[in-house]
Amino acid sequence: VDTWEGDAHAGFYGNEIFDDLSKYHDPKYGQFSWLLRTTFDDAKAYFSDSSINLLHIDGLHTYDAVKHDFENWLEKVAENGIVVIHDTNVKEREFGVWKFWEEVRVRYPSFEFIHGNGLGILTKGDGFDPSIKKAIEGENLNSFRSYFSTIGAKYNYPIEKIGLMQLLREKNEFISTLTKEIDHSKSNEDHALLQSELEKSLLEKEKLTQEILITQKKVEMIQQSNSVAHALQKRRVEELERVLAEQDDLLEETKVQLEDARKELSSFLTSKSWKITRPFRKMVRFMKRGKK
């Protein structure tokens, strides 16, 4: 649900965003998903009460706007439904999600991902599913957050690098154009102005280059961290497999010993000496009962 026209925080744009999304969305997901191009308030009429299992609120980020969207759509959320609220960490440009989150998180079972711009997650019911509840209890929450933060960074930094590379290409094209204009400029005033623009663009290019290098280092660090984690996990699995194999061997050895003992006992019970001494054993048991 969106107008795909933008807002004061996301910026305003034309039909190109919706058109690009439709071209990607419709062939892949059109059989079970649709893009409802309208306002959040108008879209509410198309959903039954308690029918939404997962509600994602990511509209205008002022305090009043996010509060209105939450309260307006809450009746549409199922009893144990989940509500996801974006940008709980952002405290600039009149963003008020953080303030609303501080109010609402104490009224419902909730937890928050604190990396990036922040993501608040709450349930309308009495509590989360046991598997989620276990993951966010006590010290487990830090590991849970770290896991998703690492995954997010793994994909975010390469995308960020692509964006920076595109900006760098555009900046290089602009510098090339400026250089040509300087070569063809006729007046000293035009030449000085273009030279100033060129120097400014060169500084911006250098800054972009540094950002790309920093981003690349972050990507490499994440890849290295993932490699180390994978190696540790592999060693742990190998150790567990070794212990399990030893336990299997011990169990098999115990089974063999037990079977040998059963055979030995069976052989003894069917032996002549056991049968011959049977009357004496009965007499001994009878005498013991008599003493009691």
Q: pLDDT band at residue 53, thresholds of 50, 70 and 90?
A: very high
Query: What is the rounded CA–CA span in Å between residue 27 and residue 250?
Result: 56
Tokens in use for 139? 């010290």
Residue 34, pLDDT > 60, answer: yes
pTM, to two decimals: 0.55
The residue with greater pLDDT, 213 or 103, is 103
Which tokens hold the place of 2?
């969106």
Residue 291 pLDDT > 60, yes or no? no
User: Stretch 23-39: mean pLDDT, rounded?
Assistant: 92
Q: What distances in angstroms separate CA 137 from CA 80, 142, 185, one per listed residue? A: 19, 9, 68
pLDDT digits (tens, 9 = 90+) for 231-259: 666 676 566 667 667 766 776 777 777 77
User: Given a cut of 80, is residue 186 above it in pLDDT?
Assistant: no
CB-based contact 84:59 (threshold 8 Å): no
Sheet of strand 119-123, all strands in order from the earlier edge strand to the far edge: 52-57, 77-86, 119-123, 110-113
Indicate the range of 33-37, 77-81, 155-159 predicted with least confidence. 155-159
Instruction: Give the helix/strand (H/E) hosting 57.
Output: strand 52-57
Which amino acid, one-letter code, is at 139? E
Nearest to 57 by CA among 45, 71, 46, 37: 71
- Look at residue 288 and tell me whether its pLDDT is greater than 80: no
> Of residues 151 and 233, which shows the higher confidence score?
151
How far is it, in rounded angstroms, from Cα 46 to Cα 44? 5
Distance of CA 267 to the CA centre of its chain: 64
pLDDT confidence of residue 272: 60
pLDDT at 222: 66
| Among 101-105, 140-144, 212-216, the range of highest mean pLDDT | 101-105
Query: Which pLDDT score, from 0 to 100, does residue 67 have?
Result: 94
| Contact present, 95 and 9 (Cβ < 8 Å) | yes
Distances (CA, A) of 222 to 153, 159, 215, 236, 258: 8, 14, 11, 21, 53
State the pLDDT confidence band at 274, using cuts at 50, 70 and 90.
Answer: low
pLDDT of residue 273: 62
The enclosing H or E element of 79 equals strand 77-86
What is the three-class DSSP state of 11?
A: strand
Q: Tokens at residue 73, please? A: 């759509």
**For the chain, percent of residues with pLDDT exceeding 70:** 69
Cβ contacts of residue 158 below 8 Å, gap of 6+?
219
Of the candidates 93, 89, 150, 145, the one whose C-alpha atom is nearest the C-alpha of residue 116 is 89
Q: What angle do CA 65, 70, 73 make, to 5 degrees?
A: 120
Mean pLDDT over 42-49 rounds to 93
For residue 136, give every residue at least 6 positions away whose Cβ sits within 8 Å of its Cβ, in sequence order, or none.
Answer: 111, 128, 144
Contact 219, 158 (CB under 8 A): yes
Q: What is the pLDDT of residue 228?
A: 61
Closest to 199 (Cα-Cα) out of 213, 178, 180: 178
